[in-house]
Structure 1
Amino acid sequence: MISVADKTILYTGAAGGLGMETTLDFLRAGARVVALDNNPAKIADLARLAEREGLGKLMIRTVDLSDFAALRHELENVSAAVGGFDVVINNAAIYPSKPFEEYSLEEMQAVQRVNVDAGIVCVQVGLPHMRERGWGRIINIASVTFYGGWANLSPYVQSKGALVGLTRAWAREFGAYGITVNAISPGAFPTDAEKIHPDPEGYTRFVLDHQAIKRRGAPGDISNALMFLASDAAGFITGQTLNIDGGWVMH
């Protein structure tokens, strides 16, 4: 049975393009969600929508994911208040776009800090509770860009490759404690990230030409996968990357 009722989920980037709807879906399914984000407008929208539906198990924290000391302090306080995190979803990301040679090393490192290193802090805080319980779920959000086909996104693609690598390393190391670690790789979903493309209609044609399924992805497509991987039903699946991209990448 696929159920996340009464699970406590730490979710970074929870008010973003795909995060918003999937957060609400987790709340509707009876989970408690600790939502980390730093966009005031999106946070307000998430809070308003959750309140409108009477979804009371939402805890929002505004944090700078690149400030690791502050992030760890905040997470440790929240973890103590809620009794630990059962599920950690590393979703937050930044995605600057320009030719590789125009990036400074500092700019590339800034992407790594938010997209990868902040997730490491989240797992470090969540892991002790999971080990003690003998149950846990860690889900990293990768990207279809990891498989090639996009220029000007070197730091972002690098960060997603790092998350896939950590997924496998953590799965091997944490499996003995009843903890699974998986990644999902969303395809080209209509979110704010697409605003970097100068020709929206042309980009949509590009996406549909590459997909086997000729429609754009919807947040529910991501929610269904997250719900499954966060549940007991996925207890024998670990170290995997699930592509949710309409058949863009096939193995």
Structure 2
Amino acid sequence: MSATNVVIGTSDSMQGRRVLYTGASGGLGHQTTLDLLATGATVFAIDRDHSKNEFLLSDTPPELAERLHLIELDMTDMDALTKTLQDITAEAPIDVVINNAAIYPSKPFEDFSLDEHRAVHAVNVEAALICVKEALPGMRDQGWGRIINVTSITLSGGWENLSPYVQSKGALLGLTRAWAREFGKWGITSNAIAPGAFPTDAEKIHPDPEGYKAFVLDHQSIKRRGTPHDIASVILFLASQGAGFVTGQSIAVDGGWNMN
């Protein structure tokens, strides 16, 4: 995959924008990071996975690499995350925050300890709180900002053994709406994207990959698997100037699985 192969209608809409992207080197983040760079953004890409970070770096066209700032960081280290964000915002405001980092342990509800619930909440929700808290002053001062939270199709039900993950994504959706209401007066939008069942590492938790693929296609209206480009195009829209009147919304990118 290469950002130089992407054709995006508003190719100059992110020129000069500074984007904070958590989970930026993962299955959905990788391509979106490349697409953001291709449209002129500077991306502060946070991910804890060294091998995925190296792959993202190697996949970035040389002419775009100077605008990619890879930050290898465990999102559970709240002090390090806060310090990193303070260093970034000391240089200039963050224009766009994309809260994508998540963990998704799978087992029956009764087998999860309270500490395990808290660990999922820390990465999936509390880290997002810190990202927005540190970016907000700069967004408010400049009268412009975009917050994009990545939630999940699992909020609609239909999946077992993911209670802490589903709970965390529900909290993130609630924050999306609360932030939209509270920050709108400063020209800041807050929206959520709910990806469907994309073929990423998250699917490795399923014991029967082919059976799961058939299950997905049977539920989708569009009979193909989603690609990272499908997510990237919606993120790019919500991050753009043209999406300034869209806020507090949850957009399902799931091939017509759920319809609202």
TM-score with structure 2 setting the length:
0.94
Matched-pair contact (CA < 8 Å) for 2:194–2:251: yes
CA displacement, residues 48-69 of structure 1 (integer Å, 9 cap, x when unaligned): 1114564321001111211111
**The one of 136, 143, 151 aligned to 2:152:** 143
Is 2:70 aligned against 1:37? no
The residue number in structure 2 matching 1:218 is 227
Distance 1:192 1:52 in 2: 27
Shift of 1:78: 1.8
Deviation per residue, 1:159-215 (Å, 9 max, x gap): 100010000000000000000000000000000000000110000000001000000
Is the aligned partner of 1:65 residue 2:75?
yes
What's the counterpart of residue 184 of structure 1? 193
| Contact 1:50/1:56 (8 A) holds in 2 | no
Q: Deviations over 1:93-134 (max 9, x none)?
A: 000000000000000100000000000000000000000000
Asked if the contact 1:7/1:86 (under 8 Å) is kept, the reply is: yes
Aligned to 1:109: 118
- Superposed CA deviations along residues 19-72 of structure 1, whole A, max 9, x for unmatched, are 001100100111000000000000001111114564321001111211111110
Where structure 1 has 5 or more consecutive residues not aligned to the other structure, the ranges are none
Which residue does the alignment assign to 2:17? 7
Alpha-carbon shift at residue 79 of structure 1 (Å): 1.9
Q: Pick from 215, 237, 244 the counterpart of residue 246 of structure 2.
A: 237
User: Which of residues 216, 225, 236 is equivalent to 1:207?
Assistant: 216
Q: 1:52 to 1:202 in 2, by over 3 A?
A: farther
Q: What is residue 3 of structure 2 aligned with on the other side?
A: none
1:160: which partner in 2?
Answer: 169
Identity across the alignment (%): 60
- Give the corresponding residue for 2:135: 126
Separation of aligned partners in 2, 1:190 and 1:18: 9
Per mean C-alpha deviation after superposition, the further-off stretch among 142-151 and 71-80 is: 71-80
1:34 aligns to what SS in structure 2?
A: strand
Give the distance between the partners of 2:258 and 2:227, measured in 1 at CA.
17
Alpha-carbon contact 1:28-1:55 (below 8 Å) kept = no
Q: Given that residues 22 and 220 in structure 1 are in contact (C-alpha distance below 8 angstroms), is that contact kept between their aligned partners in structure 2?
A: yes
- Once superposed, what is the RMSD of the aligned Cα atoms? 1.0
- Pair 1:212–1:53, CA change in 2 (3 A): farther
Q: Structure 1's 173 and 54: CA in aligned 2 closer, same or farther, altered over 3 A?
A: closer
SS of 1:97's equivalent in the other structure is coil
Q: Is the 8 A contact 2:57 2:65 kept in 1?
A: no
Q: Distance in 2 between matches of 1:239 and 1:12?
A: 20
SS at match of 1:56: helix
Amino acid at match of 2:35: D
Paired residue secondary structure (1:92): coil
Per the alignment, residue 16 of structure 1 pairs with 26
**Given residue 29 of structure 2, which amino acid in structure 1 is its aligned partner?**
G
Cα distance in 1, alignment partners of residues 62 and 256 from structure 2? 35
Tell me the amino acid that sits aligned with residue 249 of structure 1: N
Cα distance in 1 for partners of 2:235, 2:17 equals: 13
Match of 2:36 in 1: 26
Corresponding residue for residue 75 of structure 1 = 85
